[in-house]
Structure 1
Amino acid sequence: MGHSASKLNRTGQQFKSDVFNSKKLSRCSLLNEEKADPFMLIWLNEKSNHNTLDVLRTKTLLRQINNDHCLFFDNSNIFLNEIENTHYKYKKILAIVSGSFAKMILPKTTEIISTIIIFCSNYNKYAELASKYWNVTDICTDHETLKNCIQREIQSLKLNLFTNQSLRSIRPLNFSKDACENNGAHFSYLLFIELLKLMPQTKQAKEIMLNKCKDYYRCNKNELEKINLFHLIYSSDQAINWCT
């Protein structure tokens, strides 16, 4: 009897140890997955392969911010082909685009890239693009401003639950032939709902959530209007209408 109890005790301890090690491995695995799936920093400029001082300075700046995950393109067609590739389809992308390429690629990237910064020498020449295209978050004319803008946008990218850049906001799930491709979005949507359930139902919690949303959509006038409307008229009995 004593031997059986001792054996059971050892078995229980071994089970706990296995569970602990399993959880530890799972956490390590998750951390490795997070490290393996970072955002991409891409620079599109017709002179990006030149060895001028200005180009080298820009490349150095971008590598300092995101060393292992920088791409440089001097051809807009190659750039578009690359980002439409499945390898990049589900990655978070921040693109820095020259003014000369901006007008050409912006109409083709609204459903692919959520964050684009125009890096040019003449702000006024391209200012209209920032109001025309929701994904143009900034127009920079010097390296210091560019650095600050990139660092700020990185924080917004981290707030984005969706790895698929085309899913810019929470929206109803549509089951179609592309449903398999949207499994990540499905999971993120459900995760978002669960997070909302766990939040304390206080005015302060609501303000924090809305401020985060305003920060993320600060350059999107339409979304900001929806957020303000939510702030003004939302009540708990309207939850289903707002979440579907």
Structure 2
Amino acid sequence: MASKISASNSRDLQPVETLKNKENTRLIWLDGNIDDSKDSMHTQNLLLEFNPAAQFYTDSTRCVDFVKSIQGEQILLIISGALARDVLPQISRVRSVIAVFIFCRNREFHVKLMSEYSKIVDIFIVQDELLRLLRDTMTIVEKQAFTFSLFDQTQKSTRDLSKDSASFLWNQLLLYVLKKMPQDDQAKNEMLTTCSNYYAMNKKELNKIEQFRKSYSREQAIKWYTDECFLYKLLNNA
């Protein structure tokens, strides 16, 4: 049985201590009030469902150091209003930070920051609204990252995407996915065990993994890849 990732073990870590990320995006939450209280742990566990490599920081210096150490990943940063003014100047030009979400109790007090820092997506006082947009943003970023990588490999431009090139792109997608898919039962089981361990806290993904284990065939490769589940995230970053 897969062991669960502990939210409390994902706090204020040095770069060498963090879990290896198997996706293109990484969530980071910086808030001086993160602790072991019921509400805080609930939020941390929700974020770990979105991204098992999510990191939580109460210490601004450690958070900034970690952000600056990241290479080859795209960071979505959630930051408390109390720490935003001090931290944003330090990370606003860090290329790996692609989006910032401010989570606070007083939107109007911090709204001016949106005109000063273009990476701020929005300012939230309701957690459900924050999580909804965060999830949608992650899905878009993951799929966009794969599309861009295909264009880089084929030296295509989105401006030249005609019917012929769209067909070519689809064929490239099929070849890519088939090459990445496990070729025998042993390889498939090894991949699914890795996925189950990584998504141990995400019941939805675990159900998808089990469904894949029982029903996958190579003819369904594209169907599985384009489904919003564990597969396209991990294959993109393999």
The TM-score, its normalising length taken from structure 1, stands at 0.51
- Deviation string 1:72-120 (CA, Å, 9 cap, x unpaired) is 01111101111111xx222011111000111111112222211010011
1:84 and 2:47 aligned = no
Displacement of 1:46:
0.6
Q: Where does residue 36 of structure 1 map in the other structure?
A: 22
Q: Specify whether residues 131 and 97 from structure 1 end up closer, same or farther in structure 2 by C-alpha distance, changes over 3 A only.
A: same
1:109 and 2:91 aligned = yes
The one-letter code of the counterpart of 2:159 is: L
Where does 1:1-244 land on structure 2 (aligned, <5 Å)? 36-48=22-34, 50-66=35-51, 68-85=52-69, 88-112=70-94, 113-161=97-145, 193-200=156-163
CA–CA distance in 2 between the matches of 1:155 and 1:191? 23
The one-letter code of the counterpart of 1:107 is: P
Computing the radius of gyration from Cα coordinates, the structure with the larger value is: 1
- Cα RMSD for the two superposed structures: 2.7
The structure whose RCO (Cα within 8 Å, separation 6+) is larger is 2
Q: Where does residue 170 of structure 2 map in the other structure?
A: none
- Which runs of 5 or more residues in structure 2 are unaligned? 1-20, 165-238
CA–CA distance in 2 between the matches of 1:192 and 1:134? 29
- Checking the alignment, whether the CA contact within 8 Å between 1:39 and 1:94 is kept in structure 2 is yes
The TM-score, its normalising length taken from structure 2, stands at 0.52
The one-letter code of the counterpart of 1:61 is: L
Displacement of 1:122:
0.9
- Which runs of 5 or more residues in structure 1 are unaligned? 1-34, 163-169, 171-183, 202-244
User: What SS is found at the alignment partner of 1:36?
Assistant: coil
- Checking the alignment, whether the CA contact within 8 Å between 2:24 and 2:142 is kept in structure 1 is no
Give the number of aligned pairs: 141
Task: Name the % identity.
Answer: 22
- Deviation string 1:39-65 (CA, Å, 9 cap, x unpaired) is 1111001122x2222211211221222
